[in-house]
Structure 1
Amino acid sequence: MRAIFVFCLLILSVGCAQPAKLTKINGVSFVAHRDSVNQKHIKPVVNLNANYAAIMPFGFIRDLNHPEIVFNTNRQWFGETRTGVKQYIFQLKKEGIKTMVKPQIWVGRGMFTGFIKLKTEAEWAVFEASYTDFILQFAEVAQETNAEIFCIGTELEGFVDSRPAFWFGLIKKVKAIYKGKLTYAANWNEFNRTPFWEALDFIGIDAYFPVSDSKTPTVEACLHGWKKHKADILTVQQANNKPVLFTEFGYRSVDYSGRKPWVSDRDMNQVNLQAQVNTTEALFKTFWDEPWFAGGFVWKWFVNHNDVGGENNHQFTPQNKPVEALIKNEYAKKRHYKL
């Protein structure tokens, strides 16, 4: 009788199994370099208390209407190529850093990838074949290197909106090659209409949401600015029952950093270190303790730590700025999410 009782308890415990509790993803967007990396380049990532790095191989197209992607050539920087991605992952894993492989497209003259939209069915066919080749080659790399996460695309809203069937087919092809976790990096204003979240493991968002119009936004103002966006994110999260991952997040150290966080124009050049700190602190306070929030990758982290960033820099990198200490402290906290 006792054996039957124990057996029934086991059955009940399996039936009521809780979601897996996993360590929060505290990541950096590890920018490709012309050379290989070594322990010296990885140590600052470890010192930040990061546990993940996004590795970003690039493919290039001439303009928004050009259907062929050029990638993995000897004219590219080493870190953008297949060999370079493997070398970066190998070095990061030696230091205990997990990885997400995140292939991205660069459009000539820096035009926004979300506007890619081919004119004819024939051009779409060429582009889809080229993109499939690009993604599957790096899915192979992710599998060969045991990368923990693979991202199938970044900020391609026009492509996704126009060709949803292609993406469902691509996901099946990726899953035939790569056996880890999958996501897509949706832009902040496209994630709520991305059609294939149910087929992936994370709802990926490049989190450049506007949160304040102030020159130096306060933490409190940014917390208020996040309320509607957080509610929208939670609606999508609950509809798909998948954790949310900020595939990119961050702010420039510049005046009005919370107004249009996606803007990288060089004419915005008034350094404001406190604005970067306040906007970043509000983001952590809003999301990092939520059990449905998996974590994120700060944009962006350069290889040669001592030579970048600093208190006169008005770009995104947190390196050698006051916000670096904030991120280091937040990443040190023991937080979890459920998958």
Structure 2
Amino acid sequence: MTWGWTGVRATWSTPEAADSMRLMREAGVTWTAVAFGALQATAQSTEIDVDAQPTVTDDEVRWAIREAKSLGMKVCLKPVVNVADGTWRAFIGFFDQAVPGEPSWAEWFASYTRFLLRYAAIAEAEGCELFCIGCEMVQADGREAEWRALIEELRAVYSGPITYNCDKYQEDRLSWWDAVDVISSSGYYPTGTWTEHLDRIGGVVERAGKPFFFMEAGCPSREGSPARPNDWTLEGAPSERAQADYYREMFVACEQREWMRGFMLWDWPAVLYSPDEAASNDDYCVFAKEAEAVVREHYLRRRPDPPA
């Protein structure tokens, strides 16, 4: 389960956050992605402001890792870059060839490398079992040389396994899966389409010879969301049943694939709504909803092997 997104300063390292993580563990979760975001101003900016609000502090990151481990969970640290003006990070991009006076991929990757090295050092010091080096960076995915250079620098700091969270539909488009230890993606696939997409992903896994899991997967508890599970803005009435049915379908489809190693479901916030608010909450979190029982039953029955 992904915990803590988006990583708002002063919402971690609190009694409420500790309760949130404990309740997540009670749902059968054995691995958590501690996820948070730092901001760059626009999709064409080249500086990532790690220390500015609302990004959580390094001490808060360390607290979350230690809290998860104290509850018996393994941890994937997942630092993510977001765009302050609301543009999805998949659109971060620059000219293919550098132009004098214009922002460039070289400048951006230099800043992004500093960003990740900072948290790779924390992941190493705190004994994180996995480190995620990016999330849904679709425009950046094609910069193979830069990613390989970045990974080489990270391995000098972090000794554990590394994964990259590509976006849905992109699993068979990356050319540098051999550089990471674990393949992962965002599995927000529409209801009724799991077979075709798992067939496609299975080919990638076989060719790469790497473990695979869904670094993100899930569905809002909202009418219509199973057909567009990646769309958190979709209008519809709250529906616990729609979310639960989506999870059942996803779990049944995925457990038939021997290469499938698990999920980091999306998501579980640091500040939870109360149980009596669950029926009216139409977001991704499954706490106190019908889908939580589906997740717990699946996780406690399967006890999947770790992804690395």
Same fold (TM over 0.5): yes
| Equivalent in the alignment of 1:197 | 177
| Equivalent in the alignment of 2:119 | 138
Deviates more, 1:320-329 or 1:288-297: 288-297
> Do the aligned partners of 1:154 and 1:184 also contact (CA within 8 Å) in 2?
yes
| Equivalent in the alignment of 2:24 | 45
Identity level (%): 25
Q: Alpha-carbon deviation of 1:306? A: 4.8
Say if 2:300 is the partner of 1:332. yes
Say if 2:282 is the partner of 1:314. yes
Name structure 2 gaps, 5 residues minimum. Answer: none
Query: Partners of 2:117 and 2:171 in 1: how far apart?
Result: 23
Q: Alpha-carbon deviation of 1:132? A: 0.4
Query: Partners of 1:331 and 1:134 in 2: how far apart?
Result: 33
Say if 2:272 is the partner of 1:305. yes
What TM-score, normalized by structure 1, do the two folds share? Answer: 0.82
Give the root-mean-square deviation of aligned CA atoms.
1.9
Query: Partners of 1:135 and 1:202 in 2: how far apart?
Result: 17
Name structure 1 gaps, 5 residues minimum. Answer: 1-26, 212-221
> Do the aligned partners of 1:255 and 1:270 also contact (CA within 8 Å) in 2?
yes
Say if 2:48 is the partner of 1:69. yes
Q: Alpha-carbon deviation of 1:289? A: 5.1
Check 1:106–1:295 CA distance in 2 against 1; reply closer, same or farther (3 A cut): same
Corresponding letter in the other structure for 2:68? L
> Any idea what SS the aligned residue of 1:251 has?
coil
Corresponding letter in the other structure for 2:133? I
Name the count of aligned residue pairs. Answer: 296
Q: Can you list the C-alpha shifts for 1:194-233, whole angstroms capped at 9, x where unaligned?
A: 122112121111111223xxxxxxxxxx3xx211101001
Q: Alpha-carbon deviation of 1:41? A: 3.1
Match of 2:240 among 242, 256, 273: 273
| Equivalent in the alignment of 1:154 | 135
Corresponding letter in the other structure for 2:128? A
Query: Partners of 1:280 and 1:110 in 2: how far apart?
Result: 28
Corresponding letter in the other structure for 1:112? W
| Equivalent in the alignment of 1:98 | 74
Corresponding letter in the other structure for 2:34? I
> Do the aligned partners of 2:4 and 2:36 also contact (CA within 8 Å) in 1?
no
Q: Alpha-carbon deviation of 1:164? A: 1.3
| Equivalent in the alignment of 2:89 | 113
Check 1:270–1:306 CA distance in 2 against 1; reply closer, same or farther (3 A cut): closer
> Do the aligned partners of 1:291 and 1:336 also contact (CA within 8 Å) in 2?
no
> Do the aligned partners of 1:254 and 1:269 also contact (CA within 8 Å) in 2?
yes
Say if 2:93 is the partner of 1:125. no
Say if 2:205 is the partner of 1:247. no
| Equivalent in the alignment of 1:17 | none
What TM-score, normalized by structure 2, do the two folds share? Answer: 0.90
